[in-house]
Chains A and B, each alone.
Chain A
Amino acid sequence: MELRAENMIVTLANTDIVNDISIRVKNNQFVGLIGPNGCGKSTLLKSIYKVIKSREGSIHLGDLDVLNSEPRSVSRIMGVVGQFNDLSFDFTVEEMVLMGRTPHKKFMERDTEEDHKIVTSALEQVSLNGYEDRSYLTLSGGEKQRVILARAIAQQPSFLVMDEPTNHLDIKYQLQILSIVKQMNIGTLAALHDLELAAEYCDYLYVMKQGKLVSQGTPKELLTSQLIGEVYDVSCEIYTNPVTGGLGIAYLPLL
């Protein structure tokens, strides 16, 4: 499913946090959103998944006018893996993932055998089978993040939005989460911090700085030492990783 966000302007406390940004995610494309802390990545994503209202702009997901639709219709096709997933009350892992079925449930409809199958297979996909009865709050950060991803998978979305999904995860789970998402083969928009991972997994990148879109393109053509220098204010060298053949970035220490 294709996402088109056009001329988005988000204003919080009289400051334009997102300033006239247009983004397009084509069918089954994995698109990354990169940029330094505070550049407006999260705010843009939140305006896309309707937690923050944008001042101007339009968003279409397939035929659906996202900004003028009920959250329920949006949640049937768009899954979200957000940044903060702390709870004040505990749930079991199974209950957490089962909540991904909420958008598809009619009033008073009970959980069916089909729902439980979907939950089981979602947990298998994130290798958390056997965790059904564990309590969510006792899990490690990486396990929690995988539960949230499993919940989004159980939602059976045609489009996925992720806000720094690999934060606080060790390298194995960073790779695992991004691989799982890549295998889902649906349109994905993800804010990412790690540029090498972004280069590895993303088909296309948008670069933001101070609320504005600075540049866009495929990782190969976009990630140059000049652009990284401009956007992140660091010096680096770009090379081809001799082992993986992928893009490597050597950051030079700040003086």
Chain B
Amino acid sequence: MKTQSHITTGYHKKGRGQHRTFVLLILFLIVFIVFSIGCSVSIGQVSISLSDTFRILLYKGSGMRIGSLEGISQASFADIIWHIRMPRALMSMLIGAGLSLCGVVIQASVQNPLADPYILGISSGGALGATFAIMLGFSIPGVLGQMGVAVWAFAGAFGAALLVLTIAGVKGKVTSVKLVLAGMVINALCNSFSNFIVYFANNSESIKTVTFWTMGSIASATWDKLPLVAVSIGAASIFFLTQSRVLNTMLLGSEAAVTLGISLNRNLRIFMLISALVTGIIVASCGTIGFVGLIIPHIIRGVMGSDHKKLVPISILFGSVFLIWADILARTLIHQSELPIGIITSMIGAPMFMYMLMKKGYGFGGR
């Protein structure tokens, strides 16, 4: 009896230590995100010193109550920082968080390490919607018309996801294999239709727009685009932070999940639908940004393990950091020019993924 109590207390101490490291890591990542945003708004074609940046942010952020803009070398700096760079940095942060979150959720839902947020045909569905709008000059009258392409992209993305979910669930239970295959088919279908439109439209300027859009870009971020993205990603993050137990049991497979009291089929549909909504909004606001939703969950799982209690929050935060810096690189890597951010994330993401594939210790499931 004595040995047992010794073991349990020692054990509990270890648990507490782990918990403290986890909390410290969360705090560190939050601080680092704030720092990264600071860097993001001060780095660019026009270089603005960190202290000026900080003063402008403080002044604007406090609703012009704290500090002043006196002594800042150029008046246009305030506009560059507040109206161009700040929404862009915040958008990167949100999109990074959203893509990583959806990656974690979808990998757990389909129990497949190859899955990413675009597996439901969302990227190609979104691309088809956008191509359709750009090429044929379609737009919706009124308020929605201003968002034109984005609305079409969202409709395409969400439509494709619903189609995939329906196909996978037509006969009986939704299984992960059916979902992945249905996603592949819809991807191929949407891509072929996009190519069809592009081929016959034969308009080089539009083709360039479409290409840029399918590679993803955060360049168009403005303050008025932020609320929808922030609310949807914020709400999804809060929801999935409460679902770590369900996500964990999902990884055990449908049979074991049921014996632990989790009805997998219902949760799977809800999780997929929320992920599809969030990814659809992301695709509509900044195109297809590859690799983030695939690799961030794997990196964090390699370090922290598969327990979603830790995996979900750390992936959200790390995804933010990753995309903020990817955006900084996209803007600064080539002088006087801007790369689509999707190129950067794939260029960084693919080698990281290769390294993980070759490294021992993390098996991606199969050992």
Residues of A at the B interface (CB closer than 8 Å) are 46, 49-51, 70-76, 78-80, 82, 84-92, 95, 99-100, 102-103, 105, 107-108, 113, 116-117, 120-121, 124, 129, 132, 137-138, 155
The CA-CA distance from A124 to B252 in the complex, in Å, is 23
The CA-CA distance from A107 to B242 in the complex, in Å, is 8
Tell me, yes or no, whether B134 is within 8 Å of chain A by CB: no
The CA-CA distance from A72 to B306 in the complex, in Å, is 23
> Chain B 287-329, CB within 8 Å of chain A: the 1/0 string?
0000000000000010001110000000000000000000000
Q: Is the CB of B11 within 8 A of A89?
A: no
Which 5 A-B pairs have CB atoms at the shortest separation, nearest pair first? Answer: A75-B261, A72-B261, A80-B259, A103-B261, A88-B365
The CA-CA distance from A50 to B306 in the complex, in Å, is 26
A81 nearest in chain B by CB position? B259
The CA-CA distance from A86 to B252 in the complex, in Å, is 8
CB distance from A152 to the nearest CB of B (A): 8
Tell me, yes or no, whether B225 is within 8 Å of chain A by CB: no
Please choose the segment from B162-170, B243-251, B269-277 that sits at the chain A interface, where 4 or more of its residues have CB less than 8 A away: B243-251
Count class of interface residues, chain B: 20 to 34
Which residues of B, 256-283, contact A by the 8 Å Cβ criterion? 256, 258-263
Q: Is the CB of B260 within 8 A of A91?
A: no
CB distance from B238 to the nearest CB of A (A): 11
Choose from A49, A117, A132 the contact partner of B258 (Cβ within 8 Å): A49
Tell me, yes or no, whether B148 is within 8 Å of chain A by CB: no
Q: Is the CB of A89 within 8 A of B365?
A: yes
Q: Is the CB of A51 within 8 A of B260?
A: no
Tell me, yes or no, whether B20 is within 8 Å of chain A by CB: no
Task: Contacts A99-B248, A120-B8, A132-B11 given; indicate if A88 touches B113 (C-beta within 8 A).
Answer: yes
The CA-CA distance from A167 to B247 in the complex, in Å, is 28
A130 nearest in chain B by CB position? B7
Residues of B within 8 A of A85 (CB): 252, 256
Choose from A73, A79, A89, A100 the contact partner of B251 (Cβ within 8 Å): A89
Residues of A within 8 A of B254 (CB): 51
Residues of B within 8 A of A74 (CB): 261
Tell me, yes or no, whether B332 is within 8 Å of chain A by CB: no
The CA-CA distance from A203 to B108 in the complex, in Å, is 41
